Amino acid sequence: MSPEHPTGPEPPRGQADTADPRALADPRRVSDPRQDEPVPQWADWDEPEADRDEDVPPAQPRESRGSPGPGGRALRAAARRRRRWFVMAGGLVVVVATVLTVVLLTASQPGPAAVTPGALITTFQPGELRQVPGACNVVPGVTVQRYLPGKAKVASPLPVNGSAESACNWTVDKPPVYRLMELNMLAYAPNGLASGDGSATFAAIDAYDLALQDMQAPPKHSPAPRATVQALPGLGNQAFSAMQVFRVGGAVTDVATVMVRFHNVVVTVTLNGLEHSNQGSYGPVSQSQLAAAALAFAQAAEASLH
């Protein structure tokens, strides 16, 4: 009978021989089972079914070289969004360029611009005039001789508005006759301060209406007397005649006025005749003859605008 081992039963034969002395010295060390047992080798086609279904994790797609890793999918989505933004921005640039091209080509075309209802007109419209003829040439010589007795001196004042305005004066100063005929033609331009749509015609209408109002009711403290006004249908688009009597310093002067509006042009004719003077021997004068002469000059001027 063999004696008992002092520390416990004797380990089975073979285990003490195969145990790793380092594992016995360090209880924290765990031996590698792959070193204790042989690892079976199978070919891919001979792999056990259990290992194929349970032990092998599902295949994961491999990232390509240079891939940013798990965040690559988000970065690619952001890149796609940037590309869509650039495409939309490029399309917007093309649309804006097309609109600007159409606007510039339309603005360069000759003729009046299209009128938008309710909008101000800033260009001349059909029938409106940009300039007027020379005032001294629109009245025939026979008309001048008929209504201005004697030899009239002709003077052309410098225009204030360029080719849009023209004026001419005829003067007869030989006692007992004194006459001063003044003809003015002015083509109005579009004006944002005018009534209506601000067109050139409305600007002329405003000027015509203001002159008529001043004739019928002169402003306070004005030296001009109230006029006798009569409408003249059939002449231009609008026309009236007026007669005023000025008394200044003992002299009496009768003034006949005819005003005509044709589209955006206003024709103004005034004829002064001395009825009585405080010096010299001028007068008398016939108001009916003054009115007839002013009307004849206005008719000639209006006819030159057609």
Residue 251 lies in a domain: yes
**Per-residue DSSP letters for 46-104?**
G--HHIIIIISPPP-PPPPTT--GGGHHHHHHHHHHHHHHHHHHHHHHHHHHHHHHHHH
Place of tokens 């004697």: 150
Residue 152 counted as domain residue: yes
121 found inside a domain: no
Is 185 part of any domain? yes
Is 193 part of a structural domain of the chain?
Answer: yes
* CATH number where 277 lies: 3.40.1000
Q: Distance between CA 217 and CA 209 in Å, rounded?
A: 12
The answer as to whether 254 is a domain residue is yes
Q: Is the pTM of this model over 0.85?
A: no
Q: CA-CA distance, 124 to 126, in Å (whole number)? A: 7
- Give the containing element (helix H, strand E) for 254: strand 251-262
Q: Which structure tokens are listed for 264? A: 């955006």
- Asked if residue 42 is part of any domain, the answer here is no
Could you list the residue range(s) of the whole structural domain that residue 207 is in? 135-303
- Are 36 and 14 in contact by the 8 Å Cβ rule? The answer is no
Residue 79 lies in a domain: no
Q: How many CB atoms lie within 10 A of CB 151?
A: 8
Q: How many domains does the chain have?
A: 1
Print pLDDT tens along the chain (306 aa).
Answer: 444 444 444 444 444 444 444 444 444 444 444 444 444 444 443 444 444 444 444 555 444 444 445 556 666 666 666 666 655 655 555 555 554 554 444 444 444 444 555 679 999 999 999 999 999 999 999 999 999 988 899 999 887 889 999 999 999 999 999 999 999 999 999 999 999 999 999 999 999 999 999 999 998 888 899 999 999 999 999 999 999 999 998 899 999 999 999 999 999 999 999 998 887 789 999 999 999 999 999 999 999 999
Give the tokens for residue 51.
């290992």
